[in-house]
């Protein structure tokens, strides 16, 4: 499901940020984009001090905006440092305007208040205006659509962190499967059909992976045929349920299974519009296998701010395993 938000002022922009990010940012610079083409959002960590604002920060935001023909942007600086916000504004606004991209506003938000950052050198920042994004219509819309907003990026990371009890149980099931003659004789095609059937069942039922089923999927997910089967099963209507399933599988995956499971989780998160969760999943992938091919491909998609539709555009000639 695609969430469409129509912002008409600073309060709307502030309320949109946690909806599109999936969490409430802290010590962050957030960019929202607007226009008739592909729009996206981006978040970067703030430097510690104003003098650490670099051309790399500007380039990291300007590059994707130019590639996607963005018409206008808004910047939101989540910080208590007025000097840092002013330095960011004076670096970002001229660079974007010079490329023909309009800047709607540069907003500093801190402790439940906001103000527009003055662009004129030496201008005093106005007092903060209180805001509450938790009771905004955007928040209600997100709840209605089943989108969860977490309190911080750390909470997003925790949602795909290892669960030691799950790992223990699923490892025991996996050991039993490894000694099974049936498992040893299973072909790649049979493994792909079985894994997709199990995942599809969890998606339809809304249940989490059961121990035996999780072990069976995790045992074969490194096979290309299996990974292709589960990736091609993800649709716009089911992507959030697939993300729920694969996030759970990632939490219980053994170290050698993590890269492939994390890459599939990141793919689902990208397709669902959860960029922060996709990056957290990729962090787990690269901790074990920095050169994981699918992980690297997805990281490039995220860095280039490619829309989820890019997957279908390159996948018209793909062959989905039968089953």
Q: Dihedral angle at the C-alpha atoms of 130, 61, 118, 85, nearest 10 degrees?
A: 70
Q: What is the pLDDT of residue 139?
A: 55
Average pLDDT, the chain: 85
Q: With residue 30 as reference, give the H or E element that holds it.
A: strand 28-34
Beta bridge partners of 129: 114
The two tokens of residue 173 are 């099931």
Query: At residue 306, does pLDDT exceed 50?
Result: yes
Q: Please write the tens of the pLDDT for every residue from 162-217.
A: 999 999 999 999 888 776 655 556 788 889 999 999 999 999 999 999 999 999 99
Q: Give the C-alpha separation, 2 to 307, whole Å.
A: 12
Q: Give the C-alpha separation, 277 to 147, whole Å.
A: 13
Beta bridge partners of 23: 150
* Pairing between β-strand 113-116 and β-strand 102-110 as defined by DSSP bridges: antiparallel
Q: What is the pLDDT of residue 151?
A: 60
- Neighbouring C-beta atoms of residue 130, cutoff 10 Å: 9
């Amino acid at each position: 499901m695609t969430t469409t938000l129509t912002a008409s002022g600073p309060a709307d922009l502030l309320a949109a940020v946690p909806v599109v990010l999936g969490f409430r940012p802290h010590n962050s610079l957030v960019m929202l984009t607007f226009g008739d083409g592909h729009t996206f959002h981006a978040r970067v960590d703030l430097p510690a001090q104003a003098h650490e604002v670099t051309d790399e920060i500007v380039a990291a935001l300007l590059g994707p905006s130019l590639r996607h023909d963005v018409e206008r942007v808004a910047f939101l600086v989540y910080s208590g440092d007025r000097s840092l916000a002013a330095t960011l504004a004076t670096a970002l606004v001229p660079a974007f305007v010079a490329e023909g991209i309009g800047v709607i506003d540069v907003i500093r938000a801190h402790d439940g208040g906001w103000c527009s950052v003055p662009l004129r050198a030496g201008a005093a920042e106005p007092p903060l205006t209180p805001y509450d994004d938790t009771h905004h219509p955007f928040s209600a819309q997100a709840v209605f659509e089943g989108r969860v907003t977490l309190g911080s990026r750390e909470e997003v990371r925790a949602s795909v962190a290892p669960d030691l009890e799950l790992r223990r149980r699923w490892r025991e099931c996996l050991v039993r499967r490894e000694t099974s003659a049936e498992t040893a004789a299973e072909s790649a095609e049979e493994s792909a059909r079985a894994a997709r059937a199990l995942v599809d069942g969890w998606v339809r039922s809304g249940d989490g992976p059961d121990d035996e089923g999780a072990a069976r999927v995790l045992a074969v997910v490194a096979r290309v045929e299996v990974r292709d089967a589960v990736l091609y099963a993800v649709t716009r209507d089911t992507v959030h349920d697939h993300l729920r399933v694969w996030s759970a599988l990632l939490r219980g995956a053994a170290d050698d299974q993590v890269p492939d499971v994390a890459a599939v989780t990141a793919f689902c998160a990208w397709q669902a519009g959860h960029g922060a969760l996709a990056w957290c999943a990729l962090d787990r992938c690269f901790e074990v296998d920095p050169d994981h091919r699918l992980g690297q491909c997805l990281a490039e998609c995220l860095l280039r701010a490619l829309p989820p539709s890019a997957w279908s555009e390159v996948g018209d000639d793909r062959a989905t395993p039968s089953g």
